Amino acid sequence: MKESTRVFRFATIGTLNALITALVVWLMMHVADEDYMLSNVVAYIVTQTHNFIWSKYWIFPLDKKSNTWRQVLLFLIAFGLAYAAQFLFLVGLVEGLHCNEYLAQFLGLFVYGAVNFLMNRRVTFH
């Protein structure tokens, strides 16, 4: 598969994940009146099963038979690193720069997406 196709597919699923994340964050912050940090954690957890399935079978499909449990473990590690980068970015914007919490959540999606793509491309589905 061409790398441009892979990036397009990643961006497509990433956009869908971003919409799901935004919806969960909005519901938790606006409707349930929860803290922005808890809302962020829950939103990212919700999107991960969706993200793994699309990543495994559509974005990074392997021709050879792969060990799904190994990929799940590596996917969780990639998620952890990407999420940590995003969360530190989020807290830095909100607490350090007094950025709007919704804007910070949105900008954090790009940090998460970049780290997540690189980790999954180079490690999880390599």
pLDDT digits (tens, 9 = 90+) for 7-33: 899 899 989 998 998 999 999 999 999
Q: What percent of the chain has pLDDT over 90?
A: 56
In this predicted structure, the answer to whether residue 66 has a pLDDT above a threshold of 80 is no
Q: Which two three-digit tokens encode residue 50? A: 């969706």
Mean pLDDT confidence for 47-51:
88
Going from the C-alpha of 13 to that of each of 9, 51, 56, the distances in angstroms are 6, 7, 12
pLDDT at position 91: 96
In this predicted structure, the answer to whether residue 5 has a pLDDT above a threshold of 90 is yes
In this predicted structure, the answer to whether residue 1 has a pLDDT above a threshold of 80 is no
pLDDT at position 62: 78
The three-point CA angle 45-85-54 to 5° equals 45
Rounded distance between C-alpha atoms, residue 64 and residue 67, angstroms: 10
Going from the C-alpha of 3 to that of each of 44, 69, 78, 110, the distances in angstroms are 26, 25, 20, 19
pLDDT at position 49: 85
Confidence bin at 54 (pLDDT 50/70/90): very high
Mean pLDDT score of the chain = 90
Confidence bin at 94 (pLDDT 50/70/90): very high
